[in-house]
Structure 1
């Protein structure tokens, strides 16, 4: 059963979910979701414009109760992306509000009424029923739809509960989008599965986090970086049980500043749309800045070199990370070609991320093989290591490192920096003093800001 706590009418909580000015008790959310079920009779796939609203919550839970697959659509998408998602997923209707943009494919709209209630019982769908088709960011082409079954989601959440000691006693706080794994699967379905309350802050501002009384706070690195600059707001969440960061690499300087202000070492974790969360620091284990923890319960990991050979777990050797576990997607929807590229014959998912694993099983993500592995002068250099060295400079606010074609080196290391430093040579020397000499940037470009997507990930293809 995917949402057992929600189905327990005796859940002892005043507010199961608070979002966009609306608070639901568990029974009220169940009643509103049940009222959606008869409206979806005969449907197999619906699109939800996943804004952070009560309508989105009711729509998603209602579709899950009905056993209908949900396609979360980012509310800021343009007509081309929306039409691709609708056509590719074969969505039959919008569940809840639809986009008002010109040029969007017309589909029927199934209304969602937040205040409606229905107390009929409904059979639990089969565990292998697809719960979501979630679309990737599409950085290397049109977005692909990863199919996430109810079984995979349950396994992924239960593995996190084991790692984080996540229980009904927790109050989860976040302001993350509801169209990604972080905000939707972890941030909404996690609380509903375990019976913990959820406070969605709307925007993930330092003030909003400080004013929300929680025990488990979720954020992307941008959220924690902003909190680190607001000491009073950061200290206000010192009574939390865990602070969790994901969706992008957390700078070591932010990790250290938050620890100084709150007494908390942030729990870093690693996952993808296609795999959910597979690696994380544990509530009862060590946390190292720049490292994303150990494989979750039921997960296997390995790193593989260009020749397909498994790389030693020595904390220094790097390779492409492969993962295997019960929470991994069953594949891309209607894309056998992409599945053949992404999965090995024996079931390993090829993440495309470059990583290293130490002898204790702790993982460090160096970057994406497509953008963050730089071949320079015969050496393999992970952009993340150079970025961390840059970010350790007191005047550097943000940094992104890429490789650019070079007739002599193959690729030269180029850094884009936001900060108050004016002298490129100062930063090049700074990096050379902290990492191997061949890893130093050959060029430094000072910029006002770095291009980011909705989850705060730097879009390096726009820097090439």
Structure 2
């Protein structure tokens, strides 16, 4: 397999990475990461204290140059979860910034400080990456642990390269692009797509450190950024600011590509951004185990609420509860998404039973529920475990009801769940954060609104009002916390 980072091996003076006051050219990245990679000889796996800094990028690149699997650690992980991850992955050292205060759980691991001005002998013979089997792990990314202890997802070098190259083809992503983002660097979206993606293309990545409307406007405007990656919470804040921030309007209008992922972007925010800037936000669909599966293609007809069609090399099908493959492209028939292709993970670390359970032959069971439109476009409607509601004989996806609720001007945030009902089997419950808490939209008004946009059987039977929805670091709603939140 070709090198993951040919531009690093070329050691040019082109800008590679900027995060706050720290910046590196490809030549500087090659020297710094190469020197660090030389210190990893004999290490089987290495943990990375994944702060939103240039040091995290250097640490992961160094591990990949050395052929050592990296285990990104969320700095906000609690002690029990951290102990589980360390016990499961057994890293031989931890890479961290010199000023990082590490928790007691990491005290027993040898610490290697990541210096941005490191000098010394580069890794190997100095001409690039170690020659490593493409099927060997590049990263071990831990799942959120919503259905038990977090599982270590083994992402091979093959999978990383295949997914990034498929996105490059779909998005016309080249070395001329300057990517701007502020995503955390311990997961697929921020680290694989947001850091490794630009570096594989030979382009530049500018990480804001922390999200701000001002930072996005600056880097996409005067900074010359061409691509923005974000999650719906970020795009919602950008949409709110567009009405009074002309600098932001100009910056987003000048961007080549706006990409949203990790959760569905509400239709209302799609519409506000498009109306103010003339730019449509592209949504894509992926997960830790599969990297990227589908994407809306830039320049096509806007399709809010959809995640596009399968990426090059990815096969996708919908499967019914009885295991039969669904052939309907009617926008209504709900099935579980299964995928196969070179983007798939190699398995769960130390969990052969869980790995076997996750596959139907060579098809990975995503647990996501979706419908397919006539042209093959995929529209996600929720998770099988939490978002598939069986009410009155119908299979209903919570996601489409949430989008309908968010289309109501009186709704700021919305989540939908099902709860037992003696007549319907399950009734649809809407959890709503009103746009104005002093004047929340009436329950009947919201039910009629959903019924008018979708169908009567999809209307909420109960509405519960909250000050805010519980969310994780990526902005995803934690539905298991909703009963206690209510």
Instruction: Return the TM-score normalized by structure 2.
Output: 0.92
> Does structure 1 retain, via aligned residues, the 8 Å contact 2:410–2:441?
no
Q: What secondary structure, in the 3-state scheme, does the structure 2 residue paired with 1:16 have?
A: strand
Counterpart selection for 1:337 from 338, 353, 371: 353
> Does structure 2 retain, via aligned residues, the 8 Å contact 1:292–1:363?
yes
Counterpart selection for 2:282 from 230, 255, 267: 267
Residues 1:226 and 2:228 aligned together = no
Q: What secondary structure, in the 3-state scheme, does the structure 2 residue paired with 1:352 have?
A: strand
> Does structure 1 retain, via aligned residues, the 8 Å contact 2:11–2:28?
no
| TM-aligned CA deviation for residue 416 of structure 1 | 0.6
Deviation readout 1:417-438 (Å, 9 max, x if unpaired): 1112242222112212222111
Mean Cα displacement is larger for which, 27-36 or 118-127? 118-127
How many angstroms apart in 2 are the aligned matches of 1:243 and 1:326?
26
How many angstroms apart in 2 are the aligned matches of 1:115 and 1:124?
26
Residues 1:356 and 2:371 aligned together = yes
How many angstroms apart in 1 are the aligned matches of 2:330 and 2:460?
26
| TM-aligned CA deviation for residue 333 of structure 1 | 0.9
Deviation readout 1:105-154 (Å, 9 max, x if unpaired): 62111222210134433533221121000001111111111100111100
> Does structure 1 retain, via aligned residues, the 8 Å contact 2:252–2:279?
no
Task: Pick closer, same or farther for the CA change 1:99–1:369 going to 2, 3 Å.
Answer: farther
> Does structure 1 retain, via aligned residues, the 8 Å contact 2:48–2:70?
yes
How many angstroms apart in 2 are the aligned matches of 1:319 and 1:134?
27
| TM-aligned CA deviation for residue 49 of structure 1 | 0.9
Q: What secondary structure, in the 3-state scheme, does the structure 1 residue paired with 2:163 have?
A: helix
How many angstroms apart in 2 are the aligned matches of 1:286 and 1:187?
25
Counterpart selection for 2:228 from 213, 217, 220: 217
| TM-aligned CA deviation for residue 103 of structure 1 | 4.7
How many angstroms apart in 2 are the aligned matches of 1:381 and 1:42?
52
Mean Cα displacement is larger for which, 165-174 or 34-43? 34-43
> Does structure 2 retain, via aligned residues, the 8 Å contact 1:147–1:332?
yes
Residues 1:399 and 2:401 aligned together = no
Task: Pick closer, same or farther for the CA change 1:32–1:103 going to 2, 3 Å.
Answer: closer
Mean Cα displacement is larger for which, 120-129 or 96-105? 96-105
| TM-aligned CA deviation for residue 313 of structure 1 | 2.3
| TM-aligned CA deviation for residue 54 of structure 1 | 2.0
* Corresponding position of 2:424: 409
> Does structure 2 retain, via aligned residues, the 8 Å contact 1:227–1:234?
no
* Corresponding position of 1:71: 71
How many angstroms apart in 2 are the aligned matches of 1:124 and 1:361?
39
Deviation readout 1:316-339 (Å, 9 max, x if unpaired): 211000011101101111111111
Residues 1:377 and 2:388 aligned together = no
RMSD between aligned residues: 1.4
Counterpart selection for 2:403 from 388, 398, 410: 388
* Corresponding position of 1:204: 211
* Corresponding position of 1:194: 201
* Corresponding position of 2:343: 327
How many angstroms apart in 1 are the aligned matches of 2:249 and 2:283?
17
> Counterparts in 2 of 1:91-130, with a 5 A limit?
91-97=91-97, 100-104=102-106, 106-117=108-119, 118-119=121-122, 120-121=126-127, 122-130=129-137
* Corresponding position of 1:16: 16
How many angstroms apart in 2 are the aligned matches of 1:161 and 1:284?
15
> Does structure 2 retain, via aligned residues, the 8 Å contact 1:83–1:105?
no
* Corresponding position of 2:433: 418
Counterpart selection for 1:450 from 469, 473, 480: 469
* Corresponding position of 1:57: 57
Deviation readout 1:330-355 (Å, 9 max, x if unpaired): 1111111111111112x101000001
| TM-aligned CA deviation for residue 389 of structure 1 | 1.2
| TM-aligned CA deviation for residue 284 of structure 1 | 4.3
Counterpart selection for 1:149 from 156, 176, 192: 156
How many angstroms apart in 1 are the aligned matches of 2:482 and 2:446?
19
Instruction: Please list every run of 5 or more consecutive structure 1 residues that lacks an aligned counterpart in the other structure.
Output: none
How many angstroms apart in 2 are the aligned matches of 1:263 and 1:210?
16
How many angstroms apart in 1 are the aligned matches of 2:32 and 2:102?
25
> Does structure 1 retain, via aligned residues, the 8 Å contact 2:390–2:425?
yes
* Corresponding position of 1:173: 180
Deviation readout 1:77-101 (Å, 9 max, x if unpaired): 1111111111111212112247533
* Corresponding position of 2:253: 238
How many angstroms apart in 2 are the aligned matches of 1:234 and 1:42?
51
Q: What secondary structure, in the 3-state scheme, does the structure 2 residue paired with 1:326 have?
A: coil
How many angstroms apart in 2 are the aligned matches of 1:227 and 1:24?
28
Q: What secondary structure, in the 3-state scheme, does the structure 2 residue paired with 1:113 have?
A: coil
How many angstroms apart in 2 are the aligned matches of 1:283 and 1:319?
26
* Corresponding position of 1:3: 5
Instruction: Please list every run of 5 or more consecutive structure 2 residues that lacks an aligned counterpart in the other structure.
Output: none
How many angstroms apart in 2 are the aligned matches of 1:360 and 1:435?
20
How many angstroms apart in 2 are the aligned matches of 1:209 and 1:406?
46
Instruction: Return the TM-score normalized by structure 1.
Output: 0.97
Counterpart selection for 2:457 from 431, 438, 441: 438
> Does structure 2 retain, via aligned residues, the 8 Å contact 1:298–1:326?
yes
Deviation readout 1:370-417 (Å, 9 max, x if unpaired): 111001111111101111111111111110000011222211110111
